[in-house]
Amino acid sequence: MLIKLLLLISIFLNLYFIYKLVSAKKGIGYFSAVLKGISRGDFNRRIHMGLSYQVLKELGSELNVLMDRFQTMLEEKQKLEISHKQLIANISHDIRTPLTSLLGYIEVLQETTGISQEERERYLSVIQSKGQYLYRMIQEFFELSKLEADDTIIKAEKNDIVEIIKEVLASFYQDFMTNGVTPTINLPEEPVYVFGDGTSIERILGNLISNSIKYGVDGGIVGVTLRKEKSKVWVDIWDKGQGIPDNEIKFIFDRLYTAEASRNEKLRGSGLGLAIARQLVEKQKGEIVVSSIPGQKTIFSFCLPSF
């Protein structure tokens, strides 16, 4: 009786191990089929198994996590490629328009006789303006490329941001006068120190103030306010111009963003200024945000660590 019992147990164990081996073999075959599908470009394939073989379950789970990460990276890569193509298309478009105009005026000067001195000076003024625009746009493109490649030196040190704001505002005096914009300034009398790069702070302020003058000219006011918050110093630059629609505000710091209103000649820009400002702020461990009620008030705010 005992021998029969032992024989039955032995048979049962053998059948159980055979079942496990077959199950494992089937599981490995299923793994192989899924991986072959992935290798052929079907990156949506995942391993779904109800096997009782724990090792295969764990392996399948790990492979699925790996594929999820890979697919996320692939999607980001595709978005980046599209982004680069769109950026090149935008830059090409914005270069072509002023370049065509510039070449046209040069051709008129070369081939037309009897041009008055007044006309000549007007044509040369337009040529200079278009040339400066092209130069600034190319400079911004390379500046943003260097920032994104971490090829820009940021030297953080103690800086009086009140003094920097005053100097930058003074440099915009002619722009305020030309555009009929009144600056409204609210700064403390005493120095306020931040930990950051002086040149980069000037660039951030310059880009934001220039943007507010360009799009806030209808409101006739551009304001600058400084406020201290625990370990941060915030600078608000605001205007009462056309504002930013809700459906566009989340893209405002994107390097490809150019609002529809800015695609006309009067407001045309490279669309890179705000992207550069964001990069410079973040590289100094700061934050930059924007809020807007179209036609009422638009505020760009950035902060830097206080010193």
The predicted-structure confidence for 194-225, as pLDDT tens digits, reads as follows 999 999 999 999 999 999 998 888 899 999 99
| Gap between the Cα atoms of 118 and 114, Å rounded | 11
Neighbours of 139 (CB within 10 A): 12
Token match 């638009």: residue? Answer: 298
**262-288 average pLDDT score:** 75
- Whether residue 275 has pLDDT greater than 80: yes
| Gap between the Cα atoms of 262 and 83, Å rounded | 19
The model scores a pTM over 0.85:
no
Q: Pick the closest to residue 28 from 36, 16, 40 (CA basis).
A: 36
| Gap between the Cα atoms of 249 and 290, Å rounded | 8
Residue 209, token pair as written in the block: 């103030």
Mean pLDDT of the chain: 78
- Whether residue 239 has pLDDT greater than 50: yes
Above pLDDT 70, what percent of the chain? 71
Query: What's the pLDDT at 35?
Result: 64
| 107 or 164, higher pLDDT | 164
Distances from the Cα of 29 to the Cα of 25, 32, 57, 236, angstroms: 6, 5, 14, 62
| Gap between the Cα atoms of 274 and 207, Å rounded | 7
Query: What's the pLDDT at 37?
Result: 66
pLDDT in tens, 244-271: 888 888 888 876 555 444 433 444 455 6
Query: What's the pLDDT at 261?
Result: 43
